[in-house]
Amino acid sequence: MMNSLPFPAKLNLAMAPTPFYCLERLSAQMGGPRIWIKRDDLTECGASGNKIRKLEYTLARVLEAGCDTLITSGGLQSNHCRATALLGARLGLKVHLLLRDEGGYDEIPDGNLLLDYLAGADISIYPKERFFREQDELLVDCQNHYRQQGRKPWLIPVGASDGHGVWGYIGCARELRADFDRAGISPDSIFHATGSGGTQAGLTAGAQLFDLGARVIGMAVCDNEAWFRDKVRNDLRHWRDEYRTGVDVDALAIRVNDLYIGPGYGVATDAVFDTIRQLAVGEGLVLDPVYSAKAFHGMLEEIRKGHLDGQDDIVFIHTGGLFGLEPQRRQLGFRRPPRRL
Ligand SMILES: *Cc1c(COP(=O)(O)O)cnc(C)c1O
C-alpha cells in the first residue's frame, strides 16, 4: 500500500521535511514519556504552520482547473486565511477573505489580519452572528461577484480541510515514518490541535498507511468529539472517493479529546497561558493560545493525570499559529509599556 499510494501532484511551497527532536528538559520535568516535537510551525515564514501542507495540494488543483481567484473564510485571526492570502500572492492569484469578527481584538489590524491586508487580499468582515447565519449565501454571492467580472473563483473550505487537503498530513505522516526511524523510536501517541479536521484526517490515514504504530489524538480547540468524528470521517470519505485510494476509511479509529477546549474557540484559560510561558522559557518554543498551546496543555494534563503511564515516547505536532499570540498579549499579562531606565 505504502509504495502504491497515488499521491497527486502538489506545489512545492513548504520548507519540508520539518525538524523533529526531543524536548529533553520538559520530558525530565514531567517524569512521564519522552516528549518529541514535529516543528510544523517552521514550514514557511509568513505562510508558516499546518495550512501550507494542505494548500500545496489544494492550490495544485486550483491551477490545474485554470482558476485565478481564491475565496475562503475563517475567524478574524485565522491562520488559514493568512496562509491563503500569502500563498495566493506568491502564485499571482487574487484572494478574497470572508472573516468572522468574534470581538475582543484591537481596532488596528494586527497578527494574522495585518498580514492578510499586507498580502493585498480583499477582506470582508462580518459580525459573528451574521456570519454564521448567512455564511453559505455570502460565499455564493462572493463567487458570483467574481464570475460576473469574468474571473474563475475557487472556493477553499474552512481550514482547507477537505479531500484535497487530507494529502498534506498524509505527507507529514510519511515524514514522521523517517523521523521515527532516524531517532530509533516507536511512539505510542501523536497529539495535535484539531480545529477543522483536515490535519487529523491526514494523520489518521497516514499513521496506518505508513505503519506509524501510534494512536493519533486530536485535541479539540472548538466543537465536541462527535462533531470532529463526523468531520474527519467526511474529509476522509471525500479523499477516498475523489482519489479512488481504495483505503477503508470507515475502519480507521478517529480519536478526539475534547476535555481541554476551555471557555471556547480562541479563548484560553490562565493555565494555557502558563504553559505558553513555561515552553518559551524552558525550551525556547513558542506556542499560540488558540491552537497549539491549548493542545499542548491538554497533553501535559493527560501526563499529569497518569493517562499516558507506560508510554515511552509521545509526539506533539506543532501546527504553528505564532501570529495569533500577539493579538492576545493582554491575556498573556502584558498590559502596559515596559519600564524604562
Ligand atoms: C488550523 C490550525 C490547526 C487545526 O488544524 P485543522 O486541520 O484545521 O484541524 C491547528 N493549529 C493551528 C496553529 C492552526 O492554524
pLDDT digits (tens, 9 = 90+) for 192-216: 999 999 999 999 999 999 999 999 9
Query: Under 8 Å CB-to-CB from 204, ≥6 apart: which residues?
Result: 216, 232, 236, 252, 253, 254
Between the CA of 12 and the centroid of ligand 1 the distance, in Å, is 20
pLDDT digits (tens, 9 = 90+) for 222-264: 999 999 999 999 999 999 999 999 999 999 999 999 999 999 9
Atom of ligand 1 nearest to the CA of 199: 7
Looking at the DSSP bridge assignments, the partners of residue 73 are: 98
User: For residue 178, how many other CB atoms are within 10 A of its CB?
Assistant: 12
Q: Which amino acid is at 317?
A: I
Between the CA of 291 and the centroid of ligand 1 the distance, in Å, is 7
For residue 1, pLDDT over 80 is answered with no
Sheet strands (E) in 128-209: 153-155, 189-194
Give the pLDDT confidence score for residue 25 in this predicted structure: 98
* Cα 166 to Cα 115, 192, 206, distances in angstroms: 25, 15, 9
Does 163 sit in the ligand 1 pocket, CB within 6 Å? no
Give the pLDDT confidence score for residue 3 in this predicted structure: 54
Q: How far apart are CA 96 and CA 117, in angstroms?
A: 11
Instruction: Give the pLDDT band (50/70/90) at residue 105.
Output: confident
Here the cell at position 118 is 499586507
Instruction: Give the pLDDT band (50/70/90) at residue 106.
Output: confident
Widest pairwise Cα distance in the chain: 67
Q: How far apart are CA 123 and CA 77, in angstroms?
A: 12
Residue 33, phi then psi, degrees to nearest 5: -65, 160
User: For residue 213, how many other CB atoms are within 10 A of its CB?
Assistant: 12
The protein residue with its alpha carbon nearest to ligand 1, atom 8, reads 196
Here the cell at position 221 is 480547540
pLDDT digits (tens, 9 = 90+) for 48-97: 999 999 999 999 999 999 999 999 999 999 999 999 999 999 999 999 99
For residue 4, pLDDT over 90 is answered with no
Atom of ligand 1 nearest to the CA of 41: 13
Catalytic residue numbers read 78
Out of 38, 53, 76, 79, give the residue to mutate to test ligand 1, the one with the largest number of ligand atoms within 8 Å of its CB: 79
3-state secondary structure of 98: strand
Between the CA of 200 and the centroid of ligand 1 the distance, in Å, is 9
Give the pLDDT confidence score for residue 6 in this predicted structure: 86
Quick one: what percent of the chain has pLDDT higher than 70? 99
The mean per-residue pLDDT over the stretch 140-148 comes to 98
Quick one: what percent of the chain has pLDDT higher than 90? 96
The mean per-residue pLDDT over the stretch 118-124 comes to 98
Atom of ligand 1 nearest to the CA of 195: 9
| CA dihedral sign, ordered 267, 102, 285, 81 | positive
Does 204 sit in the ligand 1 pocket, CB within 6 Å? no
Atom of ligand 1 nearest to the CA of 49: 13
Does 112 sit in the ligand 1 pocket, CB within 6 Å? no
pTM over 0.85: yes
For residue 139, pLDDT over 80 is answered with yes
For residue 172, pLDDT over 90 is answered with yes
